[in-house]
Amino acid sequence: MAIRIPRSLYRMAYWLHSLSLKLDYLKPWKLPRICKAVRAARLNRRRTPSGEEIVFVTDQPTPRDAKVSQALRDRGWRTVLLLRKTPFFDPAPFFDQVVTFRDAWDALLKASGFTPLAYHVVACWSFRTAATLIRYRPGKMVFDNTDQLGGMVRPEYLRWTFPWQLGLERVCMENADGLRCRDLAPAFARRMLGYKIRGKTIYFPDFGWGKGSGASERPLDGRGVSVAFCGGMAVEKVSKEDRYNLYLGIAKAISAGGVPFHLYATVGLTPGGFEDTFSDYLDWSRRCPDLHVHRPVPPQSMATELSKYSFGLYVWGDPLHLGKDSPIHMPCRKDVTMGSRFYDYVEAGMNIVSHDGRLASWLVRRYGLGFQASGELFTQPRTWLMEQAGRLKRRPGIEQEWVMARHIGRLEKFYRSL
């Protein structure tokens, strides 16, 4: 049963955010550019959109943002990216223009220098920039929440680590002109938490790039079994409390069972760099040659890279499911959320080893994409994987069906309808 979060928490969070914005007005060194940004946004609302142009605004872009932008560009749209921090990949090839900003006020000012059909504002666990743009709205606002907090992350954890982000997230969801929903989490927030979502919504998953080689035709014999994991994760030496997003135990169990395990993680590196961040994994790989820790590859090449392997791992880290004892995540999260790596695995033609969440389980069963993980994955991985894969009847052509180019037209119509 979902835990209903007190409305007082949201009211306090909204008040704190409003106060922080007003306190900025009291800082003499900020006041001139704040007034300039607010005035620019107000004037920009009166201007006529320049045509098929979308401005993406995010503190730090991810491959999913680049994926959407590239699909729009292929259809003749012009895309602009406003970012604060550079990601692990170079975003420039996927956008017509890339502009950096210092803070939320600078983002508002620079966003007001464009007249797009819509602003596509992306946020992940930090909503100051998104809330500021949605509050002063230089144009139509589409809010894109990478990982929803409300109902998905425990309130007691958020109170200690992100004291008002939960309220800001709700402000963004309830006041944007449109919501781009990558999964079913926003519907959960509306139904179970009472969110008053006024804008239009579109369910638009993180489809594939359309650059993969499709389902592999290599024979799946005992010697060809291999498992790969890609995407964001926590690292044990940095985030020990997030044990349901840690994968060292799984990597050790599978590789010790004689099955090659390939890790393609996208995480923020510690000051010591790649070797320091993944030192625990690299230490084990020196003792077990079946563990391979790869440096990140360009996001548009991920599906091609993954097509070398037979199984894609889509499970939570420590146990095989998201348990009630997680200090961070709510149990219902696994039932409604869906990550980009799932569609990378599909595009690569891999068999997906999935957790038991409702959405993921339904997809793998409905389309013959894979099967649920069990404890045998750790005890006898090679035999168990072969047995499960032999029962699959994969839907033909799904690798070419679940790609961004085939569905981007729906998002175009959504932008135009705001």
Rounded CA-CA distance 66/60 in Å is 11
- Is 191 a domain residue? yes
Give the Cα separation of 176 and 168 in Å (integer).
12
Burial of 298 (C-beta count, 10 Å sphere; 0-12/13-18/19+): middle
Count other C-beta atoms under 10 Å from residue 276's C-beta: 13
Indicate whether 185 and 236 sit together in one domain.
Answer: no
Mean pLDDT of the chain: 88
pLDDT at 33: 84
Is 187 among the domain residues? yes
CATH of the domain at 246: 3.40.50.2000
Name the residue with tokens 């920039």.
129
Does one domain contain both 237 and 314?
yes
352 lies in the same domain as 249: yes
Residue type, 70: Q
In a domain, 246, yes or no: yes
Residues 6+ apart with CB under 8 A from 406: 207, 210, 400
Do 85 and 197 fall into the same domain?
A: yes
How wide is the angle at C-alpha 210 spanned by C-alphas 370 and 215, nearest 5°?
40
Cα 148 to Cα 336: distance, rounded to the nearest angstrom: 11
Q: Are residues 411 and 304 in the same domain?
A: no
Say if residue 316 is in the same domain as residue 352: yes
User: What pLDDT score does 165 carry?
Assistant: 86
Domain that holds residue 243: 222-401
pLDDT of residue 52: 93
pLDDT of 121: 98
24-77 pLDDT tens trace: 655 666 788 888 999 999 999 999 998 899 999 999 999 999 999 999 999 999
Q: Is 41 a domain residue?
A: yes
Residue 213 domain-assigned?
no
**Is 241 within a domain?**
yes
Q: Is 2 part of a structural domain of the chain?
A: no
Check residue 110 and give its pLDDT: 98
2 — pLDDT class (breaks 50, 70, 90): very low
- The count of structural domains within the chain is 2
- On whether both 155 and 304 belong to a single domain, the answer is no
| C-beta atoms surrounding 156 within 10 Å | 11
Q: Structure pTM?
A: 0.90
337-391 pLDDT, tens digit per residue, is 999 999 999 999 999 999 988 999 999 999 999 999 988 988 899 999 999 988 8
Is residue 6 over pLDDT 90? no
Q: Which residues contact 241 (CB under 8 A, 6 or more apart)?
A: 327, 328
| Distance separating alpha carbons of residues 179 and 346, to the nearest angstrom | 25
Pair 383, 257: CB distance under 8 Å = no
Residue 350, token pair as written in the block: 């891999």
Residue (of 120, 136, 121) closest to 34 by Cα position: 136
For residues 383 and 410, membership in a common domain is answered with no
